[in-house]
């Protein structure tokens, strides 16, 4: 809870929840605004030593018996299409899931609509990958998903 609140506060304070600023950051061919790059670099400067000296040396996580790391290293159509959908969505509206959730505290209907739509999309994708929804694209193969 504390880390989530800290993350949300950081997003709001750094203005990463402003879709116009995010779109200006993504517009590298037009009126590019590099300010979010400085926010990200600052976050990496804080996180890198913490990761290197505190997190990485741990033999097991705090709240589990072992780390749960992905076993698949395959770049397949599911990964590529998901990344493309995420990137296109982010580029069109300038809203990413983390900042959108942080923006819910502002009480705007736009953010509420975005988060609800995102949740519906996540549920539909999970149902599709588990074989519970029909195949929407010709030639697109469903990857096996382990629960």
Q: What confidence score (pLDDT) does residue 145 get? A: 52
Average pLDDT over residues 58-85: 87
Q: Tell me whether residue 99 is exposed, middle or buried, using C-beta atoms within 10 angstroms of its C-beta: 0 to 12, 13 to 18, 19 or more.
A: buried
Q: For the chain, what percent of residues have pLDDT higher than 90?
A: 14
pLDDT tens by residue, 5-39: 888 888 888 888 888 888 898 888 888 999 888 98
Cα(90)–Cα(64) distance, integer angstroms: 33
Whole-prediction pTM: 0.63
Q: The tokens of 141 are what?
A: 């193969």
Cα(145)–Cα(147) distance, integer angstroms: 6
Mean pLDDT of the chain, nearest integer: 84
Q: What confidence score (pLDDT) does residue 26 get? A: 86
Q: What confidence score (pLDDT) does residue 146 get? A: 52
CA distances from 69 to 72, 78, 82, 118 (A): 9, 18, 19, 24
Under the banding of pLDDT at 50, 70 and 90, the label for residue 141 is low
pLDDT over 50 (residue 147): no
Under the banding of pLDDT at 50, 70 and 90, the label for residue 116 is very high
Average pLDDT over residues 102-118: 85
pLDDT over 70 (residue 125): yes
Q: What is the DSSP letter of 30?
A: S
- Return the minimum-mean-pLDDT range out of 29-33, 43-47, 97-101: 97-101
């Amino acid at each position: 809870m504390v880390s989530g609140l800290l993350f949300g506060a950081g997003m709001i304070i750094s203005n990463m929840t402003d879709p116009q600023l995010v779109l200006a950051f993504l517009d590298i061919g037009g009126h590019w605004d590099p300010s979010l790059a400085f926010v990200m670099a600052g976050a990496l400067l804080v996180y890198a030593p913490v990761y290197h000296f505190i997190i990485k040396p741990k033999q097991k996580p705090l709240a589990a018996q072992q780390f749960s790391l992905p076993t698949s290293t395959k770049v397949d159509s599911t990964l590529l299409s998901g990344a493309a959908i995420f990137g296109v969505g982010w580029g069109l509206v300038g809203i990413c899931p983390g900042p959108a959730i942080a923006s819910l505290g502002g009480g705007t209907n736009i953010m509420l609509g975005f988060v609800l739509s995102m949740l519906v999309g996540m549920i539909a994708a999970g149902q599709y990958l588990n074989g519970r929804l029909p195949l929407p694209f010709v030639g697109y193969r469903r990857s096996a998903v382990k629960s």
